[in-house]
Amino acid sequence: MARKNQNIHLRSSETTAPESLAADTFTETTKVEKMVAARPEKPRIEKWQYLEQKEIVKQSLILDDELARALVSAYTEQGNFDRVERLKIRLTEERELREGATTELMKIRDRKDADETAYRAAVVIKTKKEKKERLEEIEERGDLVVRNEVIKIEVGVEGARRHEAVFKPRDGEPLRYADDKLLGTVTGDQEPRGYLREWLAGFVAKALEREELVPPTVIREVGERIGSVQKWVDGELASEGKNWILKSKPDDLEALAALDYILEIRDRHKANFFIDEKGRVTAIDHGLTLSIEEGHSIRSFPLRLYGEKEISPSLRSLLESILSSEPRRLALQKAFNFAFGDEGTPLFGRFSQRVRELTKNGMFPKYELSATGDKNAFGLDIDSAENPQIG
């Protein structure tokens, strides 16, 4: 059953008084078969769950609209109509991703949960040799390896462009078990929220006025499943080319280092950010940002480059605007509450504290992790090349 779409868009001739910058729309598309361990292949979706998904989509849309209004108001007040036009392009792409009919192109990978039963038994063994052997067995079996389900889709709106995109369904997110008891997700949540983190990363990038760092990302339904849909990125992965540091625009790498820090990124390696032919940087895979469980190390190749270096005046100003602009700060706080529920307030507090730390000190913090540790964690080499434009 399709609902009536109410689409009010910013017109190029009326940049000073936008009525709405997002489309309140619900689109039902072709059913996508579920690939979830220990569940029927085509589980029946309950009516209450269906309504809950509709409400999640609607709330994400309301928040996107609120932030867009705040940004356009600020840009208009500054007389920066070029930024208004750039934001319009972004919002148009988001609308197309949200409204378009979808076609599955290929399954990139299936979900894999983690079984921590053997690991928990091994870590209490007192004999070092036996513990080492048991842990090696666990690693070889891949008990602790987790993967989320990822599907490549095509999204198209009649009379508009077609986009290739990545769909990460909520029920395709990995879970942790021990002795058949559900422990939660890899981020410490009791329910999957990785798709909300993917959306939130794009939301924060927009608030930072560096929306190009994260591809357009929306929350929507694909068939009966809800998840994040993110525009497919064209470009070269940093891991696929040589001298990625020299190829990248320094201000993009600096901004990504800041984004990784305030979002507490745990896995920003060279295989999840792209560099296009102009040197622009675009980052993906934000499902492990802002873990509920504290104590996780921030691992980020860009942040390693900028550790203990001065933050540029332009980036420092953008960071300050996140919290100093009341409409922007309120939109962010609501987005955190939406994405994390009861944990939204403390996580927004952690986020705000990191933003204030960067703006107050005017420098990036020291990167505490060793190059060997990053290499082992990511399975990727750390480039030794240095960018003469950094520092």
Q: Per-residue pLDDT tens for 202-250?
A: 999 999 999 999 999 999 999 999 999 999 998 888 877 677 888 889 9
Distance of CA 236 to the CA centre of its chain: 19
pLDDT score at 383: 55
Q: Which tens digit of pLDDT belongs to each residue from 28-85?
A: 222 222 323 333 333 444 444 556 999 999 999 999 999 999 999 999 999 999 999 9
Tell me if 282 sits within 8 A of 212, measured CB to CB: yes
Return the amino acid letter for 54. K
Q: Which of helix, strand or coil describes residue 147?
A: strand
Task: Tell me phi and psi for residue 289, to 5 degrees.
Answer: -80, 150
Task: Tell me phi and psi for residue 220, to 5 degrees.
Answer: -160, 175
209: closest CA among 18, 304, 67, 382? Answer: 67
322: closest CA among 287, 290, 348, 361? Answer: 348
Pairing of strands 114-115, 175-178: parallel
The predicted model scores a pTM of 0.82
pLDDT score at 51: 65
CB count within 10 Å of CB 45 equals 16
Distance (Å, rounded) from C-alpha 276 to C-alpha 290? 27
pLDDT score at 378: 58
Task: Tell me phi and psi for residue 161, to 5 degrees.
Answer: -70, 160
Terminal-residue alpha carbon distance, the chain: 56
Residue 200 to residues 27, 205, 250, 337, Cα–Cα distance (Å): 21, 8, 24, 11
Distance (Å, rounded) from C-alpha 34 to C-alpha 128? 43
pLDDT score at 367: 87
| pLDDT, mean of each 10-residue run, the chain (391 residues) | 33 33 30 31 46 92 97 96 96 95 95 86 84 82 85 88 94 89 85 95 98 97 96 85 83 96 90 90 93 78 92 97 96 97 95 97 88 62 44 37
The encoded tokens of residue 336 equal 């955190």
pLDDT score at 54: 93
Task: Tell me phi and psi for residue 101, to 5 degrees.
Answer: -70, 145
**Interacting residues of 139 by C-beta distance below 8 A, sequence separation 6+:** none
Question: Given CA atoms 232, 193, 22, 322 in this order, what sign does their dihedral have?
Answer: negative
Strand ranges of the sheet holding 217-222, from the earlier edge strand across to the other edge: 101-109, 150-156, 162-169, 225-231, 217-222
Distance (Å, rounded) from C-alpha 227 to C-alpha 148? 12
The encoded tokens of residue 80 equal 């920066």
CB count within 10 Å of CB 143 equals 17
